[in-house]
Amino acid sequence: MSKQPEPTFIDLRLWDQDAIVLLDWLMSVDFEAVPVEHRAQKQALMDLLNQLEQSIPPGTSSGQIDAAKAAVSRDMGW
pTM of the model: 0.82
Give the pLDDT confidence score for residue 21 in this predicted structure.
96
pLDDT value at 78 more than 70: no
Task: State the pLDDT at residue 50.
Answer: 95
- Domain positions in the chain are 16-72
What digits encode the pLDDT tens for the residues 38-57?
999 999 999 999 999 999 98
Characterise 64 by phi-psi region: left (phi > 0), alpha (psi -120 to 50), beta (else): alpha
Q: Please work out, in degrees rounded to the nearest 5, the angle formed at the alpha carbon of residue 7 by the alpha carbons of 21 and 23.
A: 10
CA–CA gap between residue 49 and residue 19 (Å, rounded): 10
Quick: pLDDT tens for 13-31.
Answer: 999 999 999 999 999 999 9
Query: Between 37 and 78, where is the model more confident?
Result: 37
